[in-house]
Amino acid sequence: MDRNALKKIMTQAWTLAKAGAARFGGSPVEYLAESLRIAWKEQNMRQTISWQTSKGMATVVVHLQTSKTINADGDLITVPTCDLHITATVEGLGLVGSGRPQKLVNHPSGAVATIGKLALRAENLLQVQSAIAMVEATPEWQAHLVADKKAEQAWREADAHRAMMRKVMGY
């Protein structure tokens, strides 16, 4: 991890510590350990890959969102979620795509995949796939996969029960 990333983590940790001290009282130092854990966790959930293209600097950000704030009739509520966001931007053009890389076959430019309108060469695709794998290795994403499997199993059981009841009831 480079020096700038560590500086960003420390700056974010101190900001969180100061906010905790202002809200709950005490000294920011008392909140620093937990703030560092939170900042480090958030850093591991966001991976950024950049490289130079003919159009400008291309950046792909892979981010795992674990909570979001929704507006429920004027009340702001923070709800847990587990969403993987992949966005591609090019300097000067802005957002050019989002979502997982889509494979290409025999593209004339040598690109092997795309994210929206951003073409990826093999070395860039490997970096993006590595970033996705790092985010998907987090405990939050693993817990999300387990919960999805349980929900899918429950859905199958409920569907089988509905089918059996339709048969018994003569529908």
Show the domain range for 89: 47-136
Q: Both tokens of residue 136?
A: 């998907």
Instruction: Label residue 139 by pLDDT band (50, 70, 90).
Output: confident
Split into its structural domains, the chain has a count of 3
> Order of strands across the sheet with 46-52?
46-52, 57-72, 75-90, 94-98
Give the HSE-up count for residue 56: Cα atoms under 13 Å, Cβ half-sphere: 10
Instruction: Label residue 132 by pLDDT band (50, 70, 90).
Output: very high
What are the backbone dihedrals phi and psi of residue 129, each rounded to the nearest 5 degrees, phi first? -65, -35
In terms of pTM, does the model score above 0.75?
no
What value does the mean pLDDT take over residues 54-78? 87
Burial of 115 from C-beta contacts in 10 A (0-12 / 13-18 / 19+): buried
Position 1 scores a pLDDT of 61
Same domain, 91 and 34: no
Beta strands in the chain (DSSP E): 46-52, 57-72, 75-90, 94-98, 102-103, 113-115, 118-120
Same domain, 54 and 92: yes
What are the backbone dihedrals phi and psi of residue 110, each rounded to the nearest 5 degrees, phi first? 90, 5
Position 37 scores a pLDDT of 82
What are the backbone dihedrals phi and psi of residue 146, each rounded to the nearest 5 degrees, phi first? -65, -45
Same domain, 68 and 51: yes
pLDDT of 23 strictly over 90? no
Same domain, 132 and 166: no
Same domain, 79 and 149: no
What value does the mean pLDDT take over residues 77-103? 92
pLDDT of 157 strictly over 80? yes
Position 95 scores a pLDDT of 95
Give the HSE-up count for residue 16: Cα atoms under 13 Å, Cβ half-sphere: 17
